[in-house]
């Protein structure tokens, strides 16, 4: 997957997956990849939905599920610099940051 073409979304938004009876030939490989993706969701919440969907088929993945997992990997390749910055701190103060504006505030 190192030379794959990157994608801008982790899941297809226009088509739904229609599972077939074609079981993925290497379910252990699928489980390892998806398990590793679960850890990545700690710093990459944008992957949470797609990875959660993949986790629902750990017991019996199909070729279609493997295709979705590869799509997530292609998305990660194109967005490798995305993520939450987590750094150690000696302070016990909780801090949060956001880049959104409160447009509905009319308080005076």
Q: Where are the domains of the chain?
A: 32-78
d(CA 96, CA 17): 37
d(CA 49, CA 88): 27
**Phi/psi of residue 23, each to 5°?**
-70, 140
The answer to whether 74 touches 66, Cβ cutoff 8 Å, is no
Assign 100 a pLDDT band (cuts: 50, 70, 90).
Answer: low
State whether residue 62 is helix, strand or coil: strand
Predicted confidence (pLDDT) per residue in 32-91, tens digit: 999 999 999 999 999 999 999 999 999 999 999 999 999 999 999 989 888 888 888 888
pLDDT beyond 80 at 97: no
pTM for the predicted model, two decimal places: 0.73
Structure token pair of residue 70 = 């590869």
Give the per-residue pLDDT at 72: 94
Structure token pair of residue 61 = 């993945």
d(CA 30, CA 58): 8
Give the per-residue pLDDT at 32: 96
């Amino acid at each position: 997957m190192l030379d794959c073409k990157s994608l801008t979304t982790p899941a297809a938004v226009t088509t739904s997956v229609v599972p077939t009876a074609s079981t993925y030939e290497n379910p252990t490989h699928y489980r390892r990849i998806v398990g590793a993706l679960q850890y990545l969701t700690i710093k990459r919440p944008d992957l949470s939905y797609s990875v959660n969907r993949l986790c629902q088929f750990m017991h019996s993945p199909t070729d279609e599920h493997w295709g979705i997992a590869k799509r997530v990997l292609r998305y990660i390749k194109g967005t490798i610099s995305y993520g939450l910055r987590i750094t150690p701190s000696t302070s016990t103060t909780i801090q949060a940051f956001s880049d959104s504006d409160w447009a509905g505030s009319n308080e005076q």
